[in-house]
Amino acid sequence: MAGFVICGVEHSGTTLISDLFRQAPHVDSGFELGVMLAPTPRRFPEVASHFPYFASGWGLTEADAQYVCDTDDLPTFYARLQARDVLLKPGTQIIFDKTPRYLAILDQCLARLAAPFIVTWKDPRAIAWSNFQRSGEADFSAWFGREGPKVLAYLRGLYDQHARARAQANGRVLFMPLEHLCLRAGPSCEALFAHAGVPFDPGYLILENLRYPNTKTNSIAAGLAFVYRRHLNHAERHAIERDWAALADWFHD
């Protein structure tokens, strides 16, 4: 089955963490998966947000994708996936499932799969800035006034799942905010790899042979998580702090 699972707030470091693990010679993965968004693997083809990209993202033919999903058993699904995936590097012994959206149903995922989970997020001010950037709009205040409540409603669900998992002190979940990874890269990576049961080499901090363009640097930069401070003025940051105060534990100060 999957050796471990990475999930969290979208665009908050899940791909970066994936690329760190891919530096280990015996660990690999496709891009995103999403199988646990369906009640069983057999119903994964109904998940329109993820299944259409499953075959190409994991090096499968369409026939292989259907075969991999033709089971109600998650371990069987992952075993078939590893056997049929042609993108995995030679010598791969451990595959992992990186799907940010699992955070929205974290309690269900933990109940279904007996594997270590890693959960990541970033400062709500950084989340607001990255969402605004992707909108293509020019006026942050106008965008935030209109879209901020909608984004917050979505984040509240993720935040509640995160809070419940922390309250349960489940040893299978490691919580890693992007700010910790950026500011304390060495110790944070040691903790990530230990949690996943993968030996860590400091050389992995130099990211090589990146498969996807989502990671835009070949190393972990201390300022990566704080770019929003260059673009949002004091009043804009204060508006996020005020309106998104319900996400209190995610603010990094």
Tallying the residues shown for the chain, one arrives at: 253
CA dihedral 149, 151, 157, 160 (to 10 degrees): -80
Torsion sign over Cα 169, 252, 121, 108: positive
Give per-residue pLDDT as tens, 149-192: 999 999 999 999 999 998 886 789 999 999 999 999 999 999 99
49: in domain: no
Residues of the chain with pLDDT under 50: none
Instruction: Specify the pTM.
Output: 0.94
Distance from C-alpha of 108 to C-alpha of 71, rounded to nearest angstrom = 19
The answer as to whether 161 is a domain residue is yes
Does residue 103 lie within any of the structural domains?
A: yes
Query: How many domains does one find in the chain?
Result: 1
Residue 153 domain flag: yes
Query: Has residue 143 been placed in a domain?
Result: yes
CATH number of residue 175's parent domain: 3.40.50.300
Which pLDDT belongs to residue 224? 87
Residue 41 forms part of a structural domain:
no
Q: What distance in Å separates the CA atoms of residue 244 and residue 153, rounded to the nearest whole number?
A: 10
Range of the domain at 231: 4-29+88-250
pLDDT on residue 218: 65
Handedness of CA 102, 164, 15, 22 (dihedral sign): negative
On whether residue 75 sits in a domain, the answer given is no
Tens of pLDDT, residue by residue over 183-216, are: 999 999 999 999 999 999 999 998 887 776 665 5
Quick check: is 45 in a domain? no
Q: Give the rounded distance of the alpha carbon of 203 from its chain centre.
A: 22
